[in-house]
Amino acid sequence: MNETIASLKRFFEKGSSPSHHVDKILRHIQFLSLKIGRIICFELVAVKVDKLTMFERCLIDRQKKKLRNQASCAFSMPEPI
């Protein structure tokens, strides 16, 4: 980000033609929007992965609880006479 700002400053100090300025600015804006888009995508993927991980943890916890209940029921049942 700092590199982009420095690049913009340098480019304004050179004093080239106005159309050149516009082209450069548009390229910088395009570059920044791509970077921001990537960051947003990475964040969305991270949130999705975190939600999936939480879902898997819930499933595993549910299975463990079910197995524990089955095991405790098997030991607590009185034997038939």
Q: At which residue do the structure tokens 């921001």 appear?
A: 36
Task: Read off the pLDDT of each residue in 5-31 and give the average, rounded to a whole number.
Answer: 72
* Structure confidence at residue 17 (pLDDT): 61
Q: How far is CA 24 from CA 7, 29, 31, 52, 72, in A?
A: 10, 9, 10, 42, 72
Distance CA 49, CA 39 (A): 15
Task: Read off the pLDDT of each residue in 7-24 and give the average, rounded to a whole number.
Answer: 68
What pTM, to 2 d.p., does this model score? Answer: 0.35
Distance CA 35, CA 13 (A): 25
Q: What is the amino acid identity at position 58?
A: C
Say how many CA atoms lie within 13 Å of 31 toward its Cβ. Answer: 12
The model's confidence at residue 16, banded by pLDDT at 50, 70 and 90, is low
Q: At which residue do the structure tokens 């939600």 appear?
A: 51
**All structural domains of the chain with their residue ranges:** 2-75
* Structure confidence at residue 81 (pLDDT): 60
What are the pLDDT digits (tens) for 31-76? 888 888 888 877 777 777 777 777 777 888 888 888 887 777 666 6
